[in-house]
A and B are shown apart, each in its own frame.
Chain A
Amino acid sequence: MEQFESLLTCCVCLDRYRNPKLLPCQHSFCMEPCMDGLVDYVRRQVKCPECRAEHRIPYQGVQGFPTNVTLQRFLELHAQIAGELPDPTAGQVMERCNVCSEKAYCAPCAHCDKKVCEDCKSAHMEVLRREIARINNQIRRGVNRLQDILAVVERNTANLQTNCGAVAGEVDEIHKRLAKALKDRTDFLRNEVDRYLATELRNLTHLKDNLELELSNIQSNCDLADKYMNDDVEWEDTELVDTKEIFLKTVEFLRNFDYEAGDYNRRIRFVMTHDPNQLVMHVASYGELNITHSNAYSTGLQQSQGLTRSKSDHRLASQFRQQEEAKGYTENDEPILGGRKFGERRPPPPEKHTRDYGVTDDYSGYESEHRPSRRFRSRFVRSHQTDNDSDTETSTRAVKAEQKEKEKEKVTDTEDATRGPLSGIFRLSDCPRVMQRILDVDSGKKKEKKEPPPPPKPVQPTPQPRSRPPPPARQQSEDDEISRLKRQNKGAASSQEPDRTPQRPVEEERSSISHKPPTPAREASSDGESDESVGSLQRNQRKNTAPTPKPTAVRRPSASDTSSVHRPAARAPSTESSASTESSGSAVKHTGAILSIAELKAKYSNDGLPPKPTTRFLSAGNERPTPVTTNGTTGGAQRVQSRFIGSQRPTPAPAPAEPAHEDSDTSSEEETDSSEESEEEPAPQRKPESQAMARSDIGPLLARSNNARNDANDNKNKDTPTQSRYRTRQTSQTEEEPAPRYGASGSSYSRYGSKPKDDEMTSSLDDDSKYPTARSRYLALKERRNRLARSKSSHTGFGAGDDDDQDEPVSPTTASPSAYLAARYGSGTGGSELSRSRSSHALKSRESSPERPVTGEKDGAALSSWARYLKNKYGSRGKDRDSGSTSSSASRRLSLGLPLRSANELASSDDDSKNAAGSPISPTAATAAVAGFAAAGSSPRSQYLQKRRLQFSVGSRGSEPGYFTWPRGIAVGPDNIMVVADSSNHRVQVFDSNGIFVKEFGQYGSGEGEFDCLAGVAVNRIGQYIIADRYNHRIQVFDPAGRFLRSFGSQGTGDGKFNYPWGITTDALGFIYVCDKENHRVQVFQSDGTFVGKFGSFGSKLGQLEHPHYIAVSSTNRVLVSDSNNHRIQVFDVNGRVLSSFGEEGSEDGQFKFPRGVAVDDQGYIVVADSGNNRIQIFHPDGTFLRAFGSWGSGDGEFKGLEGIAVMSGGNIIVCDRENHRVQVF
């Protein structure tokens, strides 16, 4: 038999013959791969391995050799005799693997959805496994959220209970009161009735007695008269007279006596003061339960929403969103795994595969459990290439998992039993397949080397036990099964218990918390245990835990407990700079458990931040106050400047020493250039220079564009008028602008709707202080305000403020006070903190009337000092106003420029804030300010010095027009339009200079005009949009109408290829500069996409880059690159030579933490979005620090993760505030 066996074995593959081919030497070999491998293609012959005979290969290749039919018969016979299963690969033909393009038996791979060879497949499965591990980690980290939400829910439960208790108490109280009132009244009424009855009765009896007496008297008199008043009896005359008199009186009495029925027939009637029916109705519905969503609760809800969709890998998020849109997320009864049972193969594509791939152990890996649905597949592959931002997000991973694990329709399946009711995620450990696997692993079948990757199970326990105890019967059997597994595992488990990660107890705790409900507790806890054990099983010996002791040990689950446990972490987050996402995320999160809404909000808007910046700003938050105060002062600037003198000054000096190919002309030019910039020379003088420079500037790289560049410079010179045209146009525009704004105040004020009263009061206040004579008017206004406050008519209230404003410029007063007032009125849209505290201020001012006169006085008193202050600080600037509008603008600038502190010192902050709140008045002033600046544009320095206050912000999170999801790049186009790369909405949005939505274009995809998380945007001189389509690794160009023109680039490291292109910009010539982020370089292209050059390489030396993010080109052709991971800005010339660099890591003035956006205005001033410090820094053209503003937060003028930044021609700074999903304009 053995002989027989060996005869049927191919000596090359040592396997049973497959399609044996007979060589002329009578030796047989499998056709594939054995014979194939023997072919000597050069000599077109095959050498017999057995006898070394060489045979020519037939024309049609080795297939042309005759099949050894005899052998085949024998094979069949043998198979019959031995009862062997037919060769699984029998019917198969070898194909080229779609991945490695080797010839092999290919099988469809669920991961890439291609037919691939086993090797590739196992590699893919390895990838999947790693993915799963990673996702699992993220889930582990993200599970905190559920925990937090759980805590919130717990708390809300408690709150609810107390709330309901309180309400019940109230109801009882009311009931008592009502009952008492009712009873009192009833008693009172009844008493009254009784009393009345008594008195009346008494009266009546009295009357009756009297009447009876009278009656008897009269009767007797009558009888007497009848009997005795005849002749029988002798009466005296007097007697008779008297008798007569008496009788007459009696007659009179009888005649006159009138029973006053009214007197003795007074009926009382019970009259209800209210209609009894109504009263009953009133009582019956004497109160209702008004269910308001308390903030905490609603944020809780929001969080859970946020958990599932926000913050996550945006790509996935968007994918998910799409899916969600398509299907609706909450519909649980629609299958996640595409209707498959867990672990089942996807239904094979309609094509040919006959073979069952399901269970063969050819597939050495764990039967990969996550079959990413098709749409995720490519994502999976991609998500290896770690992108800076894509790390954090656990939740959509979870979502993804949830997407994947989907139910099927038969309820009998175990998978349905423990499905999380919220997410539809079932416990993997309940899957028969998974159980089988685990058993296999456990029973020591070594065929699977790899442990099954930890499935994303941890998400499930929380929702699951919380709301629904699983059906008992099922649970029982499950528990049996699981406990069996547990027992098997326990020996190994117990030994490793000590080195649990600290996260585990937390989780434990959570799960125990979740098992709080008394009745299902037992069940649930065992559930938790089993969960544990299964989890540990799945994680295999790596992280085993002894589940039994733990739950009991940790089961003291009160929400406060949890929170107190976590609180330290939250309070001292700055210490954990090394622990990145997790610590920061959890830090905020845990505070979330302590109920502050702000914190919760912070947490959730914060979570998506890349890890470093988060901790950064957390730590920076502590240091914050100091820099802020020093910001405005020259001291800080001086210091920084001196530092910069060190680094910057040398630039001219080494220039002559630079390599020979740079002619001295250029270098000297450079020198003049820099000096020129630092001196801020007037524009006319610099024109020829810059032209000359442009000519000499042309290096080898761009030599061919010499003429073009000259042209461009000419153009640029010509351009100045155009620009000024813009400006004038803008001014005119803005002059018109306010009118409709105000006209439509009803609607357009809705933005400010919450504080009209405030405004009005401000105005009245100011009026008061300003025009003492107008006291009466003030009073009138006050009255009116009160009335308004009552009627809540914001419109009129506002109108009043408006009136005042219009009055303002007319007032013929001395320069500074009016400037002051105008400044106060025009103070723009709110200093950040002030506007944040706006509401409280409003409250305060509304409530505490005594404060008003105080502030008024203060104002009056402050005026002189103000004037002095202004004069000192800004010299004569305040005076050189000629028109009303400029005056207000100038003064507005003054007010803008005032550092916060000093403003607070001088005027009461209350007052100030009211002005901030009163901002809607300002558009006139604001735009006029822009105009004023345009007119007096020669000194942007002072303008920048004054930058601090938010003019307005655009958008919030969302996908509708005018909303953003992670806005990144931003650019300014013609007419100061704002072009925003709405990254995770995969579109470009365009706004006008006032932030009014104009248009959008683009959608998700990789086709023409589609984006995948675009990052950078730029607008060239002819209005074309140039977009860095980040995940598609290409640049796309659109015409001014948003129509696709062309795209160029693909993923790679070669010239013209990209690896996550990020920032993008163009110069006057239309050359396109791209920050090729993961290639750590900048590439330059012609406007048609032709590669021109590149510079930068990975490293931290001068001229090297590490993750350059954004780029800007100045009008003097200096290229500024935000060298993000080196925490500096590097300045290159257009040839890629380093001119200078400034900044280092830190949070002092002039230092950066992961600077991102960089912009340069036409004067060469540099604006940097200092992302990690959440502030904007402005530098002189030579790189010396000018000023900084902004801090972490979500209020006005606060940031969470800055991205692109740009400067409008009027000097307005626009910046993408990524995590706040908005654009802010300063």
Chain B
Amino acid sequence: MAALPRRIIKETQRLMQEPVPGISAVPSENNARYFHVIVTGPEDSPFEGGLFKLELFLPEDYPMSAPKVRFITKIYHPNIDRLGRICLDILKDKWSPALQIRTVLLSIQALLSAPNPDDPLANDVAELWKVNESEAIRNAKEWTRRYAMDN
């Protein structure tokens, strides 16, 4: 039962006090390193209007290593696979201790606005996105409506 590092406490406090618009991150009641995250789909993106649930976990050596983030809500996105795993460099090798939960979540939100089919995780989606972007976007909207709304 290691105590929570001050940094996590501070971050959590700040997330509560000054929430980022469009993003809510609430620590789990029984594990302060586990956050329930909801990200709104960015405007002017096929995910607009959707509420995407994510889970975020701060590993033991956070902030020296990146938090683990995963989409829980199904999403049609070339960089997010069926299991909700996210292909985002700052979550991998580009992680820096100077980044924070909020920055990570902002990055994810940004990723929704700007899918990068060239660095795909969900190959079929990326393929479609490259070949037929409009259909892909339609799919994305469809999925958003189906999975990310009215819940």
Contact = CB atoms under 8 A, between A and B. Distances in A.
Contact of A34 (B10, B11, B97): B97
Given A13-B6, A14-B6, A126 B1 contact: yes
B64 interface: yes
A15 B97 contact: no
Nearest to A100: B2
A13 B61 CA distance: 12
Contacts of B6: 13-15
A14 B11 CA distance: 8
A49 interface: yes
B63 A12 contact: yes
Given A37-B64, A119-B2, A123-B1, A14 B97 contact: no
Contacts of A14: 6-7, 10-11, 100
B64 to A, nearest CB: 4
Interface in B21-74: 61, 63-64
Interface in A1137-1167: none
A751 B96 CA distance: 85
Interface in A1-57: 11-15, 34, 37-38, 47-50, 52
Given A12-B63, A119-B2, A123-B1, A37 B7 contact: no
Given A14-B10, A37-B64, A50 B3 contact: no
B131 interface: no
Nearest to A52: B96
A442 interface: no
Contacts of A48: 96
B101 to A, nearest CB: 11
A573 to B, nearest CB: 41
Given A37-B64, A38-B64, A11 B2 contact: no
Contacts of A11: 97-98
A580 interface: no
Contacts of B61: 37
Nearest to B11: A14
A419 B100 CA distance: 55
B67 to A, nearest CB: 14
Interface string B86-102: 00000000101111100
B53 to A, nearest CB: 26
B121 to A, nearest CB: 23
Contacts of A13: 5-7
Contacts of B5: 13
B2 A49 contact: no
A118 B5 CA distance: 11
A364 interface: yes
Interface in B1-23: 1-3, 5-7, 10-11
- Most chain A CB inside 10 Å of its own CB: which residue of B7, B11, B61: B7
B9 to A, nearest CB: 9
Contacts of A126: 1
A50 B98 contact: yes
A54 to B, nearest CB: 12
Nearest to B64: A37
A122 interface: yes
A13 B9 CA distance: 10
B33 to A, nearest CB: 14
Nearest to A364: B3
Contacts of A34: 97
A911 B96 CA distance: 96
B132 to A, nearest CB: 36
A13 B10 CA distance: 9
Contacts of B97: 11-12, 34, 37-38, 49
A15 B7 contact: yes
A175 to B, nearest CB: 77
A428 B61 CA distance: 41
Most chain A CB within a 10 A radius of its CB, from B1, B2, B3, B97: B97
A37 B61 CA distance: 9
Contacts of B94: 52
A47 B3 CA distance: 27
Contacts of B11: 14
B1 to A, nearest CB: 7
Contacts, number: 43
A191 B72 CA distance: 124
B102 to A, nearest CB: 11
A1056 B129 CA distance: 66
A999 B99 CA distance: 73
Contacts of B3: 118-119, 122, 364
B1 A12 contact: no
A687 B11 CA distance: 82
A38 B99 CA distance: 13
A48 B7 CA distance: 18
B92 to A, nearest CB: 13
A244 B104 CA distance: 175
Given A38-B64, A119-B3, A15 B98 contact: no
Interface string A110-127: 000000001100110010
A37 B97 CA distance: 9
Interface centre among B5, B7, B98, B100 (most CB of A within 10 A): B98
Contacts of A364: 3
Interface in A521-554: none
A1015 B96 CA distance: 58
A12 B2 contact: no
A14 B63 CA distance: 10
Contacts of B100: 14
A118 B9 CA distance: 15
A49 B96 contact: yes
B10 A15 contact: yes
A37 B94 CA distance: 16
Interface in B68-127: 94, 96-100
Contacts of B7: 12-15
Contacts of B99: 49
Interface string A951-973: 00000000000000000000000
B11 to A, nearest CB: 7
Contacts of A38: 64, 97
B34 to A, nearest CB: 18
Nearest to A11: B98
A365 to B, nearest CB: 10
A66 B71 CA distance: 43
Interface centre among B1, B10, B11, B96 (most CB of A within 10 A): B96
Contacts of B63: 12, 37
Nearest to B94: A52
B97 to A, nearest CB: 4
A50 B100 CA distance: 12
Contacts of B2: 119
> Interface centre among A14, A37, A48, by most B CB within 10 Å?
A14
A15 B97 CA distance: 13
B26 to A, nearest CB: 18
Nearest to A122: B3
A960 B134 CA distance: 97
A1165 B23 CA distance: 80
Nearest to A121: B3
Contact of B98 (A49, A118, A122): A49
Interface in A113-161: 118-119, 122-123, 126
A48 B96 CA distance: 8
A52 B3 CA distance: 29
Contacts of A49: 96-99
Most buried by B among A49, A123, A364: A49
Given A37-B64, A38-B97, 12 more contacts: A11-B97, A11-B98, A12-B7, A12-B97, A13-B7, A14-B7, A38-B64, A47-B96, A49-B99, A50-B98, A52-B94, A119-B3
5 contacts: A34-B97, A48-B96, A49-B99, A119-B3, A123-B1
Interface of A: 11-15, 34, 37-38, 47-50, 52, 118-119, 122-123, 126, 364
9 pairs of A and B residues whose beta carbons are closest in the complex:
A49-B98, A49-B96, A11-B98, A49-B97, A12-B97, A14-B10, A37-B64, A119-B2, A14-B7
